[in-house]
């Protein structure tokens, strides 16, 4: 049967780019378009990504993409059949193994938002079948730059999953959501003692689940009480126990809210001077050289509210840097 494949970028009247993929054979004409606005909307609501073919080999595109997605706050699930640990995260051998893990440990999120493939084109159909058979339904089945597979496209589209091929997820994400703040993993914010508070309502269950341990075991190994709050122990180097110079945060997916929220601390939001000081300490903030304090406040409000990282003033187990009054929360909603 004769087949033709066209792949092109078209532009709408508004100048919006859309990727148009047409397949024609004797019986059917299959076509999908993914307009920039649609892709942007989907990406705006994505929080997790499984990276198939994950490797933390410096200089490789997959390493850059993995680290970037982590720095943008994504939950990253590295998948590799042999490697045990990538970017300080435990790996999954395959898509079905990840599916099993999510069923048990994260029933509310039975699938990552994106399954992103760093595999040769000929293996992608196999991964589409794995996705189908494991019952996963990501928002996007994404083939990185230079990777295409028509059968994989057909397979996932029949499941109602969006298909993207031959594009870099990092480039696309950055294009839609350019960063003013980008963590350089320098570790400065992981230095010092007693600064990393474990919130009893959010962080504690996350850490217990991550370490598969009891509260008593967590306290015996990793945390202690300081000023009536549970805080993470320091290592011999004086940094947070979980900081590793090579790998940065070794518990990235389970890190406490205070770490997720930096640099958007209350002090930096309400006080211009604190913001300037944060800029001089944190290399990541210097990416937004021209970011005014007003812009920073808006960005902070958007991030903290969408990630649900603000705490109530009355919560004694929470970090002060994340506590806001009801009036302040309402103000942030307006900025956002
Ligand atoms: S100080 Fe800034 S750049 Fe360095 S690890 Fe912390 S957030 Fe990242
Ligand atoms: S938990 Fe991770 S991010 Fe937070 S201070 Fe420790 S090493 Fe840094």
Closest atom of ligand 2 to 259 CA is 4
- How many alpha carbons lie under 13 Å from residue 164 in its C-beta half-sphere? 25
Q: How far apart are CA 26 and CA 11, in angstroms?
A: 28
Q: Which ligand is nearest to the CA of 254?
A: 2
Q: How far, in Å, from the CA of 214 to the mean position of ligand 1?
A: 30
What the chain holds in terms of domains, given with CATH numbers, is 18-176 (3.40.50.720), 188-335 (no CATH)
Mark out the alpha helices in the chain (DSSP H runs).
36-44, 61-71, 95-105, 124-133, 150-158, 169-176, 203-211, 215-221, 257-261, 266-270, 272-281, 293-306, 326-335
- For residue 13, the model assigns a pLDDT of 46
- Give the binding-site residues of ligand 1, using a 6 Å CB cut-off: 183-189, 262, 282-284
Residues 6+ apart with CB under 8 A from 116: 49, 50, 51, 52, 65, 142, 144, 169
Tell me the chain's radius of gyration from C-alpha atoms: 22
- Higher pLDDT pick, 108 / 17: 108
Residue nearest to atom 8 of ligand 1 (CA): 183
SS3 117: strand
> For the chain, what is the mean pLDDT?
87
Average the pLDDT over each of 9-13, 239-243, 315-319 and give the range with the smallest value: 9-13
Name which residue sits closest to atom 8 of ligand 2, judged by CA.
Answer: 190
Atom of ligand 2 nearest to the CA of 240: 6
Residue of minimum CA distance from atom 7 in ligand 1: 183
**What does the pLDDT average to over 48-55?**
97
pLDDT of the residue at 152? 95
Q: What are the pocket residues of ligand 2 if the criterion is a CB atom closer than 6 Å to any ligand atom?
A: 190, 196, 232, 240, 242-243, 249, 251, 255, 259
Greatest Cα-to-Cα distance within the chain, rounded to the nearest angstrom: 74
CA of 280 to the centre of ligand 1 (A): 11
Residue 81 reports pLDDT greater than 90: yes
Place of tokens 């944190």: 282
Cβ–Cβ < 8 Å for 116, 142: yes
pLDDT above 70: percentage of residues in the chain? 90
Q: How far apart are the CA of 205 and the centre of ligand 2, in A?
A: 17
Is the model's pLDDT at 153 over the cut of 70? Answer: yes
pLDDT of 24 > 60? The answer is no
- Split at pLDDT 50, 70, 90, the class of 175 is confident
For 66-89, letters b (16+ CB in 10 Å) and e give: bbbbbbbebbbbbbbeeeeebbbb
Tell me the sheet residues that pair with 244: 248
| Region label for 311, one of left (φ > 0), alpha (ψ between -120 and 50) or beta (otherwise) | beta
Residue ID of nearest Cα to ligand 1 atom 6: 189
Question: Per mean pLDDT, which range of 19-28, 151-160, 310-319 is the poorest?
Answer: 19-28
Residue 40: HSE in the Cβ half-sphere, 13 Å Cα cutoff:
11
Beta-ladder partners of 9: 19
The average pLDDT across 115-126 equals: 97
Question: What pLDDT was estimated at residue 126?
Answer: 97
Closest atom, ligand 2, to C-alpha of 251: 2
pLDDT > 90? residue 71: no
| Distance from C-alpha of 152 to C-alpha of 289, rounded to nearest angstrom | 42
| Best of 73, 196, 284 for a ligand 2 pocket test (most atoms within 8 Å of beta carbon) | 196
Which string of DSSP letters, residue by residue, matches 282-323? Answer: -GGGGGGTT--HHHHHHHHHHHHHHTT--EETT-TTS-GGGE
275-308 per-position pLDDT tens digit: 999 988 898 888 777 778 988 898 899 889 988 9
- Tell me the percentage of the chain whose pLDDT exceeds 90: 62
Return d(Cα 116, Cα 162) in angstroms, integer. Answer: 12
Q: Are 69 and 49 in contact (CB under 8 A)?
A: yes
What is the average per-residue pLDDT within 8-25?
Answer: 50
| pLDDT bucket at 336, cuts 50 / 70 / 90 | low
- State residue 186's pLDDT score: 85
Reading the block at residue 293, the tokens are 């304090």
Task: State the pLDDT confidence band at 2, using cuts at 50, 70 and 90.
Answer: very low
Mean pLDDT highest for which of 26-35, 66-75, 309-318? 309-318
Residue 17: predicted pLDDT:
55
DSSP-based helix, strand, coil % in the chain, nearest 5: 40, 20, 40
Which of 181, 185, 259 for mutating ligand 1's site (highest number of atoms within 8 Å of CB)?
A: 185
How far is residue 199's CA from residue 230's CA, in Å, rounded to a whole number? 7
Using most ligand atoms within 8 A of CB, pick from 67, 179, 180, 188 the residue to mutate for ligand 1: 188
Distance 277 CA to ligand 2 centre (A): 20
CA dihedral of residues 128, 78, 206, 240 (deg, nearest 10)? -170
């Amino acid at each position: 049967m004769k087949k033709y494949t066209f792949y092109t970028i078209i532009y709408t009247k508004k100048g919006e780019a859309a990727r148009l993929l047409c397949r024609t054979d004797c019986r059917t004409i299959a076509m999908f378009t993914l307009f920039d606005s649609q892709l942007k909307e989907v990406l705006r609501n994505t929080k997790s990504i499984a990276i198939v073919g994950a490797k933390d080999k410096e200089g490789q595109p997959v390493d850059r993409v993995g680290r970037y997605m982590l720095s943008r706050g994504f939950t990253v699930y590295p998948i590799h059949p042999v490697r045990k640990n990538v970017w300080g995260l435990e790996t999954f051998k395959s898509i079905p193994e990840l599916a099993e893990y999510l069923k048990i440990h994260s029933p509310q999120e039975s699938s990552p938002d994106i399954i992103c493939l760093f595999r040769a084109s000929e293996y992608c159909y196999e991964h589409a079948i794995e996705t189908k058979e494991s019952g996963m339904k990501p928002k996007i089945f994404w083939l990185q730059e230079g990777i295409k597979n028509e059968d994989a496209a057909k397979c996932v589209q029949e499941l109602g999953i969006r298909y993207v091929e031959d594009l870099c997820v990092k480039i696309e994400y950055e294009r839609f959501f350019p960063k003013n703040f980008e963590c350089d993993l320098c570790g400065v914010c992981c230095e010092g003692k007693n600064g990393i508070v474990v919130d009893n309502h959010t962080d504690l269950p996350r850490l217990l689940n991550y370490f598969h341990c009891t509260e008593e075991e967590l306290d015996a190994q990793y945390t202690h009480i300081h000023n009536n709050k549970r805080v993470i122990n320091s290592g011999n180097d004086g940094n947070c126990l979980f900081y590793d110079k090579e790998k940065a945060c070794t518990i990235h997916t389970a890190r406490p809210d205070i770490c997720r929220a930096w640099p958007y601390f209350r002090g930096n939001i309400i006080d211009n001077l604190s913001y300037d000081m944060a800029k001089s300490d944190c290399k990541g903030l210097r990416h937004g050289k021209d970011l005014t304090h007003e812009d920073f406040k808006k960005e902070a409000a958007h991030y903290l509210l969408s990630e649900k990282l603000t705490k109530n003033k009355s919560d004694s187990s929470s970090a002060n840097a994340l506590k806001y009054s009801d009036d302040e929360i309402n103000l942030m909603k307006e900025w956002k």
